[in-house]
Structure 1
């Protein structure tokens, strides 16, 4: 959980008198770790192989094997990419639960999976809701999205995000959306790089996944922290079409693109 920076009474009075807030200015985002990260200049991910394993609905052991295999692909692909770009790399790990529990210091909430920066690991909640229909690419995209957070962690984006100031909940939620939509885009980058190896998949499968994302946005949620469905689908597709992190710089994007 991110905490708003403390402002003393003297500092607050000074800000009010001057009409400016340099110490807590948040828009536009000015931290170059976020807006001009080396990640954006690393080029396309090399095309690689990542064959899907079979997984039937409500089959927890098969889902574990499926997601572990995808993680192995992610570690190989991003590991090669980081090495070629001269960036420091460390593998991510995965874990599984069948009931929500506290993780990484926070309550679980309604997520299907959660990445923990400190552990460089993400947990996946293999419940009936997630495993009811395993015919689409949602599980594949879920692992790739959480790995997007791992990429953010390795490149310093996660730390810069957690330290970046905000003045109110609205600004905090928008920063959260920029972070989540970037991970969405990075998941598309990976999927695009291995698409030709997914022999059983075609354009219809991709469009189905985009439709799932359009129907799973923040609309109607009390806390709008992940983005509207149309924006989640748009950033996912943008990464997929480019296969390059260059297109995933959500930090200078207009507010409407990260709403």
Structure 2
């Protein structure tokens, strides 16, 4: 993928180094993205004894000529900091300027170009999502999540969440190497954002409350395959902008195959349970990605009518 030197999105929050464990686990590419949002935690605060202790420490240090209010006011910038936040001038938590972050920002910018154009053609305005980079774990409006959940989209705050270490896992664990395989991951999650804007995710979450597990899984497969189809539309748009390199399409199709439910089940337990599918088989994921790519048409991504 010829991504270097292209526009990079500012819709990024970098929370790496703010790791929070626990939360929901899951499977690759979007499982938490269609969860019903969960409530926040209660509790917290300092005891009276702790407050008194801190007050005493403050006055002792002040008597020694150390004003902790001034120290804290300078923020955590030991060594002077990078100053990158001021250079970019977007929002707090602007990402560091490493190669992986630049790649993510560029891919996100390309999804913005694609979906802004598509929405504009229909007389609509595309509301761009924010992509959150994290490490280890993260707190979202859908609850706590660990890296084990994989990349996901939270409809409650309209943000995509990505631990970039997943790219290494994608290559080593899922045998899906290549930058376009990584780009497919991001495009798939942005596909869930499009579904949220068009009402697909809210309707699914509403209906799921009255569904049994088997029926919910079947509907989830249709939701996920549509996101794959939308990722294919994005890939077609990128191809039209002459950004694809030789082998890129094959990388994305291989990634779609490697994270099919049947392939994952065979790898983890040695046998396949179709009723437990919630993302689609390898063949289905490849088929719907390719359908989006071949057509470049949102209308071709109707996974809710007829057989898959």
The answer to whether TM tops 0.5 is: yes
Unaligned runs of 5+ in 2: 6-96
Shift of 1:148: 0.4
1:129 aligns with 2:169: yes
- Structure 1 position 61, deviation (Å): 2.7
Say if 2:173 is the partner of 1:120: no
Alpha-carbon contact 1:88-1:154 (below 8 Å) kept: no
Q: 1:109 to 1:244 in 2, by over 3 A?
A: same
Listed as ranges, the gaps of 5+ residues in structure 1 are 1-49, 55-59
Highest Rg: 1 or 2? 2
Aligned to 1:53: 4
State the secondary structure of the residue aligned to 1:164. Answer: helix
1:13-32 correspondence runs (5 A): none
Aligned with 2:181 (options 114, 138, 142): 138
> Over aligned residue pairs, what C-alpha RMSD do you find?
2.6
Q: In the alignment, does 2:126 pair up with 1:89? A: yes
The answer as to 2:287 corresponding to 1:234 is: yes
Instruction: Answer whether contact 1:191 1:240 (CA < 8 A) is retained.
Output: yes
The 2-side partners of 1:121 and 1:167 are apart by 26
SS in 1 for 2:185: helix
Cα distance in structure 2, aligned partners of 1:197 and 1:88 = 22
Residues 78 and 199 of structure 1, relative CA distance in 2, 3 Å threshold: closer
Match of 1:76 in 2: 113
Instruction: State the SS of the aligned residue for 1:201.
Output: coil
What is the CA deviation profile of residues 166-223 of structure 1, one whole-angstrom value per residue up to 9, with x for unaligned ones?
A: 5411100011111111001001001111114344513x33123212321221121774
Contact 1:51 1:197 in 2 (8 A): no
Contact 1:182 1:250 in 2 (8 A): yes
In the alignment, the residues of structure 2 paired with residue 98 and residue 137 of structure 1 have an alpha-carbon distance, to the nearest angstrom, of 22
- Kindly state the Cα deviation for residue 88 of structure 1 after the two structures are TM-superposed: 3.9
2:82 corresponds in structure 1 to none
Partners of 1:68 and 1:186 in 2: CA distance: 19
Moved more, 149-158 or 164-173: 164-173
Post-superposition shift, 1:102? 4.8
Residues 226 and 102 of structure 1: CA distance in aligned 2, closer, same or farther (over 3 Å): farther
Q: Corresponding residue for 1:168? A: 212
Counting matched residue pairs gives: 201
Query: 2:71 corresponds to which residue?
Result: none
By how many angstroms is 1:106 displaced? 4.9
Query: 1:77 offset after TM fit, Å?
Result: 2.1
Partners in 1 of 2:147 and 2:220 — Cα distance?
15
Tell me: CA distance 1:131–1:85, structure 2 relative to 1, closer, same or farther (3 Å): same
Q: Given the alignment of the two structures, is residue 210 of structure 1 paired with residue 253 of structure 2, yes or no?
A: yes
1:154 is matched with 197
SS class of match (2:126): coil
CA distance in 2, matches of 1:73, 1:194: 7
